[in-house]
Homo-oligomer: A and B are copies of this chain.
Amino acid sequence: MRDLTRTEGIPLYVKIRESIRQKIAAEELVMGQKLPSEDELAAQYGVSRMTVRQGITDLIDEGLLYRRHGVGTFVAYPPVERDHSRLTNFFENSDAIGIKAKASLIMIEVEDAKLKAAKALNLTEGEPIIRIKTLRYADDIPVTVHDAHIPYKLFASILDMDQQKLETQHLWTFFESCGYRVKSAVQKLEAREADESLARLMEIEEGTPILYKERTVYADDGTPVEFTYCYNRGDRYSLTVTLHR
């Protein structure tokens, strides 16, 4: 009890949450095991029950614990990897799995929005957008053609960025510097065949399977900030996602 030394600025429920997480990691609490009751935990940590609940709720949202009304709170079996349900960008993700990521700029220009992009970005057809097309490499193998469309009126300043920076810094970092925090994305996935142009860029044969992805990215206030066509080499790319009922 009382492993909550008063650390500056860290909320109690966060400390409790991390304390429980650590006990699970250290296997002081094993899979399927029942936690002490909320009342008991409140007493142990010297806080109110609502505070304990807040910490526990976070861990339930992460899939690390589950509750059974009238029974107790338990450690869930496989810590279902939430990573798979989190939205990550190409560079973050490659870092995480130890792949060397690289991008090369194919083109950046201002265009009139076509219907589909305009709709996704909440613009009217023909409004200016900035189109940024890159080829992305994993360990020096070309794996993805990335064709992003972003509203000109929000992000015109990206045109001043030098190519070097465009290739190494992710778009989302730039969005944040403009005050838009990326929160979610809706993506549609299909299997397709590589056409001639994709085949040339990715050094594959025409007709090779491609994992095609259309993605709209939203900031936390709901503003759509990016609409992207994404063509991934079928033999080099897979996407893992977690869904919940």
Contact = CB atoms under 8 A, between A and B. Distances in A.
Interface of A: 31-32, 50, 63, 66, 74, 76-81, 84-87, 122, 182-193, 207, 209-212, 218, 220-224, 232, 234, 237-245
Contact of A77 (B81, B223, B239): B223
Closest 5 CB pairs of A and B: A77-B222, A191-B234, A76-B222, A191-B209, A87-B243
A189 B211 contact: yes
B221 A191 contact: no
Contact of A241 (B63, B222, B243, B245): B243
Contacts of A32: 221
B77 A31 contact: no
Contacts of A190: 211, 234, 237-239
B66 A238 contact: no
Contacts of A84: 186
Nearest to A63: B184
How many copies altogether? 2
Contacts of A185: 242-243
Contacts of A212: 191
B192 A243 contact: no
A238 B80 contact: no
A186 B241 contact: yes
A38 B2 CA distance: 32
Nearest to A61: B61
Contacts of A244: 85-87, 183-184
Nearest to A220: B66
A209 B192 contact: yes
A241 B189 CA distance: 8
Given A189-B189, A190-B238, 8 more contacts: A85-B243, A85-B244, A86-B245, A188-B239, A191-B209, A191-B234, A241-B241, A241-B243
